[in-house]
Amino acid sequence: MKKILLTGLTVVACAVLAHSASAQTPAEFFHGKTITMLIAGDAGGGYDVYARAFARHMSKHIPGNPDIIPKNQPAGFGLAAANTLYAKADKDGLTMASFTNNVPMDPLFGNPAAHYDPLKMVWLGSIGKLQNVCATWHTSPVKTLKQAREKEIFVGAAGATSNTALMPRISNELLGTKFKIVGGYNGANDLTLSIEKGEVEGICGLSWSTMKASRPHWIRDHLLNVIVQMGLDKLPDLPNVPSALDLVSDPVKKRVLELILIRQETGRPFALPPGVPQDRADALKAAFSATLKDPEFVAEAKKLQLEIDPLSGDQVTQLLTKAYGAPLAIVNRAAALLNLPGKKT
């Protein structure tokens, strides 16, 4: 009888606690708590700088003003953070993640290390898009896309799955350029130095916003010949530079390129795990949007030369829904260009 009574009391106590937790407002729940922000990028890298700057201002817009503690988890090109958020993080709203742009799309393209469903995550939004450009140094004789189709150009690249390695391949395949990839560089800083030193002639696949932040004098002093831009929309800074999407006339190739560019468009996305209570998820979405408009965050972003070109959580979800609804043949052609295995069904 004692065991039965104790068991009954335990069940009742758990039910009372669960009801109490569910009855809390977001402000009551978050007050005095700490939110962990997983960052799917290396410390000091571009994703890290953006995420930490954002974290410094987001807390005051969350009801209850919880602390936010960033935690880098860059392994697997961001997939470790995604797997952790999806399968291991508590679903209480106290864990969020800042992802690299590949994370939302890697399951679609059959990456075997991606053990999560992006369509079930709660997307808070994205701080900025990754609109890549292909460019040559000002001393290069190749200054136009037409010339890049006629003459081989040596471009620097980081790892085999980096944008600086993938975008030249995609351009060669879909636009007919003759980029020759020189790999092995360690990130954006090494790549930009390699151009300045004359080790390579150009670069294809570096984010325009990253370039503006890390090498503003390149743009100010007209040291680059930007020959093509690779984004869903043209950059306001480059109205006269052709868009890759506008140059592809074959309808199948155009859909393949569009799918790849959606991967870039989501840019610097933030997410919660599936299952977070709706009122807390809504509070964090509202806080995300409010932070992007916060004058203090905007001022810090300007000081750090961070380009803010946001998407709402709903916009990220819409892009992913469109991408995951693409025909299998289109998905697999895109996956092949991204050095990913694709999907069988």
Tens-digit pLDDT profile for residues 263-278: 999 999 999 999 999 9
What fold does the segment set 23-129+268-337 form as a domain?
A: D-Maltodextrin-Binding Protein; domain 2 (3.40.190)
pLDDT at 272: 98
Contact 146, 159 (CB under 8 A): no
Using the CB atoms, write b or e for 204-229: b if 16+ within 10 Å. bbbbbbbbbbbbeebeeeeebbbbbb
Tens-digit pLDDT profile for residues 169-215: 999 999 999 999 999 888 777 888 999 999 999 999 988 887 887 78
What span, in angstroms and rounded, lies between the C-alpha atoms of 112 and 79?
10
Q: Which residues, in sequence order, are CB contacts of 295 under 8 Å at separation 6+?
A: none
Average per-residue pLDDT in the chain? 91
Yes or no: is domain 132-263 CATH 3.10.180.10? no
82 to 2, 37, 92, 105: CA distances (angstroms): 46, 12, 17, 11
pLDDT at 4: 55
- Within a 10 A sphere around the Cβ of 233, how many other Cβ atoms? 13
Give the mean model confidence (pLDDT) for residues 321-344: 95
Question: How do beta strands 269-272 and 95-98 pair?
Answer: antiparallel
Domain range list for the chain: 23-129+268-337, 132-263
pLDDT at 16: 41
Same fold for the pair 23-129+268-337 and 132-263: yes
The burial class, CB within 10 Å (0-12 / 13-18 / 19+), for 166 is buried
Contact 86, 274 (CB under 8 A): yes
Tens-digit pLDDT profile for residues 115-168: 999 999 999 999 999 889 999 999 999 999 999 999 999 999 987 778 899 999
Instruction: Tell me: pLDDT of 230 over 70.
Output: yes
Q: Which residues, in sequence order, are CB contacts of 38 under 8 Å at separation 6+?
A: 71, 72, 73, 81, 84, 85, 89, 95, 96, 97, 98
Instruction: Tell me: pLDDT of 10 over 80.
Output: no
